[in-house]
Structure 1
Amino acid sequence: MGASDKARSLITFVGVSVLSGALAAGLAIPLAGFAGLGTEQLAKTIDSLPRELVIEPVAVRSRMLAGDGSVIATLFEQNRVPVSLKRVAPIMKTAIIAIEDSRFYEHGALDPKGTVRAMVRNQSEGSVQQGGSSITQQYVKLSLIEKARTEAERQKATEVSYERKLTELRYAIALESELDKNTILERYLNLVNFGDGAYGVQVAAQHYFGTTAEKLNLPQAALLAGLVKNPTGYDPTNNLQRAKARRDLVLRRMLELKVISVHQANLALKTPVIDLKKVDPVPNGCASSRYPFYCDYVVSQLLANPALGRTVKERDHRLKTGGLTIRTGLDPRMQAAAQASIDQHARRTDTATAAVTIVQPGTGIVKAMVQSRPYGNGRHHTNYNYNVEKSYAGGYGGFQNGSTMKAFTVAAAIEKGIPLDYRINSPEQINLSNKKFRTCSGFTRDPKYTPRNSTRSGNLTMVEATRYSTNTYFLQLSQRVGLCSISGVAQRLGMYNAQTLEPLDEVISMTLGVGYVTPLQMANAYATFAARGVYCRPLIVLSVRDKANKPIATPRSQCKRALAPGVADGVNRVLSAVMDPGGTGGRLRFGNWDLAGKTGTIQDNKAVWFAGYAPNLAAAAVVADANLPYTNLMYGHTLDGRDISDPTGSGTAGPIWKTAIQGALRGLPLRRFTAPSTKILNGNRKPLPDVTGLDRTAATTLLRKAGFEVTIANQLVSSPVPTGKVAHTDPRPTAGATPGTLITIHLSKGPGAP
């Protein structure tokens, strides 16, 4: 019989049903809706209805996986995992057909006998006990509801009207002419709601019984079949008594149809409905994840991926309905090591906040991300991720980074050919008021700037100044290499203001810390040194595949050479000295690993850092006041339940870094830094003219002709050279200097002068 013939049969049946009252009683459609409609008019109404039902892909939950394949989170609007009909237990098919459409394989889209039977049963009971819809009609209705995207569309798909019912019938006829019964039943079992957030027979079997659709037994199948009529009302987790009554009704119907024996029915009726203690919860979203902050950050990356949809709303819908498999870079073992470190050194009740991120050099893969405040809205909880930038909805936006910036000054100096043993006289305090510092757009100066050291002073080399984190050395070094050079290195290594997403400000104190940066930025930038100058953008999503296992375009590892290998080798040598005995990170060394790093403390101790790395892992840890306005960590703040009396990068943030990276490195191969070349060690030196005894004008002219920058020291020095003449230069002529180096001329105040 063709579709048009079936439509005519439908018209005949509707006409008969109207006259007999069957449609009104059995299908719950107002009889008044057909008042005054003749057969021809009714035929025209049906002919005007749409014929072809466009079935959208069924909503399937997505899974987010860690690097080892373990599940981080499930994301869904409907918790569903489709399964083929051959993988559904025969008893489940029997149960659903018995209670919903016992003549499913005998009739077409419409079951006239079933409809009349339902009418008679409903009239005898005085209420609606059985529906008149076939499984095909129910599938059509569920599909229309599934397609609805607005409240108006949902209301239209569920309204009680003859037009809606006839539309479903028209669609059902078309569907049965295109698909066989088994295909319709399979789609129905995968689409239907089984209550308590379980959609489709596979998830329902797992949720209620901890089994699969293929292994369902008789009482389990009867319970699930009974849920279809009213998933909320018969939900056994809400009302066990009602659920049992409904299940037993299904069993008696199956006995009535003789698809099970009396013995089978009696055994099933005596079986407990479910064990509520064994009901598998249905976790949904990042809030239910073991790693909620990492998960949230992954979701933010996916919502920015145009391959998942044109708009954020479309991407979010596909993320929760597309059955995606999202593989991330999270390493559960390293995450556990970072979490153990936070747990050892901090508490959620602390007034200070601790955070740490671990990154793999050479790939940019973010292996771990942990913080001391847990995820949530309760007391001592937060929805902020303290490891990432503010452009992400939950990102805090970083903290001022202090002397961790000195590493970029070291890199800029080595790029300019300045040797590692480059000495600068670095007093405890220095007057840099109105001194010019070159920027990318000209010069900048501070009318009143007299910074001082909190550590060792003296005539120090670059290595020594880095080991002790000597401020006056690095301020003078940054003046000589230029702020533009430092800014350029920082930008190439992924450093920017995590609050504004703008480049870091080129201010005189840049080398001592500038702007707001995140542990993720710091760990990834330092990972570039470990990778011998190869910078990789942070990579958190490794791959995305759809439910057919086809890849979806996603940003891959984006790596580029940011520093020459020799420059990175030089930085590694300099930062390794920090970890030597006597260095600011000396107490953080462990095992036989090659380690390098840098402390950071911002002004007034509002945040303290340690960023460091081995050749195969980099990490950054921060302890800070995360409440506005920021306050000094020394006053009124606690960490690990104790007052912070002396916040430092090495003593406060350093232990968190050490425990985290030490645990993360466990089991990885031991690797070494590449030794810097002689050229890097010695720099691009050229002879420095000896201008001792000349006046300042002649000395300046001679040095500039030789290719050097020149500045005059503010204070005169004792010297046998006549007053006002050049006593000496820094660096000295015997040391030589690289082209473009800033040479400081020290003028004499005469022999024996106080």
Structure 2
Amino acid sequence: MHRGEPARPNVVQSVILFLLVSGLCGALVAGLALPFAGLAGVTTEKAHDTVQYLPQDLKTEPLAQKSQIFAADGSLIATLYQENRTPVTLKQISPLMLKAIIAIEDDRFYEHGALDAKGTLRALLRNQSQGSVQQGGSSITQQYVKLSLIAKARTPEEIQAATAETYERKVAELRYAIAVEKQYSKDEILNRYLNLAFFGDRSYGVEAASMHYFGVHASKLTLPQAALLAGLVKNPTGYNPTNNPKRAKDRRDVVLRRMQELNIISAKQARDAIRTPVLDPAKVRNVPNGCANSKYPFYCDYIVAKLKENRAFGKSKEDAENYIETAGLIVRTSLDPKVQKAAEASIKKHSKATDSAVAAITIVEPGTGLVKAMAQSRPYGSKKGQTSYNYNVEKSYPGGYGGFQNGSTMKAFTIAAAIQKGVPMTYRINSPQVLPLSGKKFSTCTGTTDDPDYTPKNSTKTIADPSMLDAAKASTNTYFLQLSQQIGLCPIATIASKLGMYDAQTMDPLEQVVSFTLGSAGLITPLMLSNAYATFAARGMYCKPQVITAVTTSKGKTVPTPGPSCRRALSPTVADGVNYVLQKVMEPDGTGGKLKFGKSDLAGKTGTIDSNKAVWFAGYSSKLAAASVVADASPPYDDLIGQTLNGKKMRDASGSGTAGPIWESAMQAALLGLPTSRFVAPDDKTIRGNVKDLPNLKGLPPAEAIAKLAQLGFKAQVAPAPVDSDAVAGTVAYTSPRQEDGAPEGAIVTLFLSNGSKAIPPTPPPTPPTGPITPPTIKPPPGFPTCGPWDPKYPNCRRR
């Protein structure tokens, strides 16, 4: 009960008053005074039926409140609402506001019940004299009932019924008002009314209105401020001080004079308040609504899309949207303003909004899936040079662009599959600049596939016989195509799928095509790729991308939401091996060598698609993973060369030189201040792989070499051209992989045959003498035996 509140009339008195008024209505309808029935369109019988079948209590909807989205550090990202409202208790409202609203709307509020009989009779007589409904005579309780019915209305018909200027509606309101007075105290009714009432400028409730017009809480309202708000509820649009300051002041002054008449304030207080300016425009605070007004509009849109997926908020996305905009939710997210700032600064440094090409980057935390930042070059909006597309996410989300082909960044999954299968990092494959693969069969999860016309080539210089480490450094296409053929596409596609890779346009699995390892299996987003690479950084632990970390109601109740979802996708040893290989990319002679910074271990991979329509760099430390892309996003898609980036025409486009600097700048700033981190070194078995020894085949004829390999479980093929060697021409010069490296079981061993160019010629026989040689005659001395040395065959040789 309000301080100084007199004893309340009981419910019986209210009912009696209600019946008296109903009886008066009946008398008027019968024609005692004026033709009321013709004016109001209602009969005594109809009014009686209306009262008889109305519910005994008023079921109200929860107050629509604004929901707020916050970053990880507690800063506000966005406010979502249908009605800008912040409910407060009666103690949180200035006593001056309570007195002002009662003075102007229902000065006998604490003295009467649901119905102010005097006011209602006065209104009825006035309306009869005017020939229409001119004066309501409604009590605050009746006004609360009306506002509640409007708030519950969902269809145009319900809204019309709740606002119709008819006696039938007034009678219904009276019945509901009696129920409300029975259910709630006067203070509770006044509090509910002040939280429900509309005060103009999309401000619902006294707290939101106070903050909007004056920049102060409702508890701090001064007399002229309270009088202004009290006057607004009658006509929030007509008396809006931001649009009609003079009308607003006139209405405010009416309230002040009424308060003086009722001796609530003194004449001096009224005069002083009337002299006060109605509003200080500099203090008016608008509450931006929706993601379009957010500092991070694309990230915000993605959050809202994820919220709408939660069936705890509604059976459909429409129901969820209505709930989100009215439930007063507090949404906590993973957005890290420091990391977001780093991403945005990098995008701004390396691109412009007016570029014909677009740039985008997503940064994710390994081991949690928390999406720390999303940034892109084109700003949010519908004007020229703006876009509503989010180039970082899938098409399944509103505004999601749906990705680009990701080029050689897919090689990381081939590396992972090879290491998982036991392929050594020293595994060598002869990798020519051009590789004829037309019609060559590649195994898939369901059979085989081939490309009838496919002759890929390397886009970088490479050694003729690279190892996996060499091929990763130089991004050797022909090596990884042959490696993917040897291990099969199914293991590669399976790992990619486990790491969250799928077609961002169709949501279907990536297509197992011959060029899978070169990134032509589907369209990929920066969010998907950065999160997949984060799995390597987390030693094989895959976590679904997470942007929402907690949701609570305005009263602090937790709303069930999907939490972290992590699972082991790769063994730690396989992930360690991938990290080791991709670290080599960041060495000075690697394609990412110029992007290395700081003391922490870094790993990454470049990517360029056909015709340079998109270029990528994806890389990570153990703390953060990011993927950046520069692409043509406007059909028909063209080569980036000749398009503008950072206001200049591109003369070259590459993962390392175009997308790489965006990744480098963003990651360098994002990792600033974090401790130095290292990857876990792979063990010897992972480096050497699960290999079998190869026999020494040098100098063997091809048929014999092939037979030996088959006996050991290897496949064999003969290189198309002979090589310089010291082996006999036509025999095996060497193999790939080399004998000393060994090869995984079932691997294809290439035999390189010698052309004999370095073979050592055989030693020629000695030159025979030109004529017979007569041995010199030697005459023995006297007495020397003429027989030769004793010979057992001639024991009786006679001596002379």
Residues 574-589 of structure 1: pairs in structure 2 closer than 5 A: 574-589=581-596
Change (3 A) 1:709 1:390: farther
The answer to whether the 8 Å contact 1:11/1:42 transfers is no
The answer to whether the 8 Å contact 1:383/1:394 transfers is yes
1:217 paired residue number: 222
Structure 2 residue matching 1:64: 3-state secondary structure: strand
Change (3 A) 1:618 1:144: same
How far apart are 1:237 and its partner, in Å? 1.1
Give the aligned residue type for 1:436.
K
Once residues 523 and 669 of structure 1 are traced to their aligned partners in structure 2, the CA distance between those partners, rounded to angstroms, is 21
Tell me which of 6, 10, 14 is aligned to 2:18: 10
Once residues 710 and 297 of structure 1 are traced to their aligned partners in structure 2, the CA distance between those partners, rounded to angstroms, is 52
How far apart are 1:560 and its partner, in Å? 0.8
Q: Mean alpha-carbon deviation: is it higher for 729-738 or for 685-694? A: 685-694
Tell me which of 695, 703, 719 is aligned to 1:713: 719
The answer to whether the 8 Å contact 1:30/1:161 transfers is no
Once residues 547 and 37 of structure 2 are traced to their aligned partners in structure 1, the CA distance between those partners, rounded to angstroms, is 57
Structure 2 residue matching 1:556: 3-state secondary structure: coil
How far apart are 1:477 and its partner, in Å? 1.5
Change (3 A) 1:464 1:90: same
The answer to whether the 8 Å contact 1:65/1:326 transfers is yes
Tell me which of 699, 710, 724 is aligned to 1:704: 710
Q: Mean alpha-carbon deviation: is it higher for 518-527 or for 128-137? A: 128-137
1:556-585 alpha-carbon deviations (Å, 9 max, x no partner): 111111111111111111111111112111
Structure 2 residue matching 1:552: 3-state secondary structure: coil
Give the aligned residue type for 2:317.
V
Tell me which of 50, 65, 68 is aligned to 1:60: 65
Tell me which of 423, 441, 445 is aligned to 2:428: 423
Once residues 202 and 717 of structure 2 are traced to their aligned partners in structure 1, the CA distance between those partners, rounded to angstroms, is 74
2:645 paired residue number: 639
How far apart are 1:125 and its partner, in Å? 11
1:453-488 alpha-carbon deviations (Å, 9 max, x no partner): 121222212112111111111112111221111111
Q: Mean alpha-carbon deviation: is it higher for 622-631 or for 698-707? A: 698-707
The answer to whether the 8 Å contact 2:11/2:113 transfers is no
Q: Mean alpha-carbon deviation: is it higher for 391-400 or for 155-164? A: 155-164
Q: Once the two structures are aligned, what percentage of the paired residues are identical?
A: 57
2:367 paired residue number: 362
Structure 2 residue matching 1:633: 3-state secondary structure: coil
2:540 paired residue number: 533
Once residues 555 and 36 of structure 1 are traced to their aligned partners in structure 2, the CA distance between those partners, rounded to angstroms, is 57
1:175 paired residue number: 180
1:568 paired residue number: 575
Once residues 591 and 42 of structure 1 are traced to their aligned partners in structure 2, the CA distance between those partners, rounded to angstroms, is 82
1:14-58 alpha-carbon deviations (Å, 9 max, x no partner): 32256579x9999x99664477637xx754542233322111111
Tell me which of 556, 561, 564 is aligned to 1:557: 564
Tell me which of 597, 612, 633 is aligned to 2:619: 612
1:508 paired residue number: 514
Once residues 232 and 308 of structure 2 are traced to their aligned partners in structure 1, the CA distance between those partners, rounded to angstroms, is 35
How far apart are 1:752 and its partner, in Å? 7.2
Once residues 658 and 254 of structure 2 are traced to their aligned partners in structure 1, the CA distance between those partners, rounded to angstroms, is 67
Change (3 A) 1:309 1:191: same
2:328 is the alignment partner of 1:323 = yes
Structure 2 residue matching 1:358: 3-state secondary structure: strand
Give the aligned residue type for 2:21.
F
1:200 paired residue number: 205
Give the TM-score normalised by the residue count of structure 2.
Answer: 0.90
1:104-161 alpha-carbon deviations (Å, 9 max, x no partner): 0000000012234556788999998864000000000000010011111111111122
Once residues 390 and 118 of structure 1 are traced to their aligned partners in structure 2, the CA distance between those partners, rounded to angstroms, is 59
Structure 1 residue matching 2:256: 3-state secondary structure: helix
Give the TM-score normalised by the residue count of structure 1.
Answer: 0.95
2:3 paired residue number: none
Change (3 A) 1:24 1:226: farther
2:663 paired residue number: 657
Structure 1 residue matching 2:461: 3-state secondary structure: coil
The answer to whether the 8 Å contact 1:18/1:31 transfers is no
Q: Mean alpha-carbon deviation: is it higher for 464-473 or for 264-273? A: 464-473
The answer to whether the 8 Å contact 2:526/2:629 transfers is yes
Once residues 428 and 675 of structure 2 are traced to their aligned partners in structure 1, the CA distance between those partners, rounded to angstroms, is 37
Once residues 45 and 500 of structure 1 are traced to their aligned partners in structure 2, the CA distance between those partners, rounded to angstroms, is 56
Once residues 446 and 178 of structure 1 are traced to their aligned partners in structure 2, the CA distance between those partners, rounded to angstroms, is 77
The answer to whether the 8 Å contact 2:472/2:584 transfers is yes
How far apart are 1:425 and its partner, in Å? 2.0
Structure 2 residue matching 1:715: 3-state secondary structure: coil
Change (3 A) 1:305 1:52: same
Structure 2 residue matching 1:460: 3-state secondary structure: coil
1:401 paired residue number: 406
The answer to whether the 8 Å contact 2:68/2:331 transfers is yes
Residues 229-248 of structure 1: pairs in structure 2 closer than 5 A: 229-248=234-253
Tell me which of 686, 703, 712 is aligned to 1:680: 686
Once residues 4 and 227 of structure 1 are traced to their aligned partners in structure 2, the CA distance between those partners, rounded to angstroms, is 34
Once residues 36 and 632 of structure 2 are traced to their aligned partners in structure 1, the CA distance between those partners, rounded to angstroms, is 65
How far apart are 1:8 and its partner, in Å? 4.3
Tell me which of 37, 53, 62 is aligned to 1:48: 53
Number of aligned positions between the proteins: 749
1:649-671 alpha-carbon deviations (Å, 9 max, x no partner): 11111111111111111122221
Tell me which of 273, 281, 304 is aligned to 1:276: 281
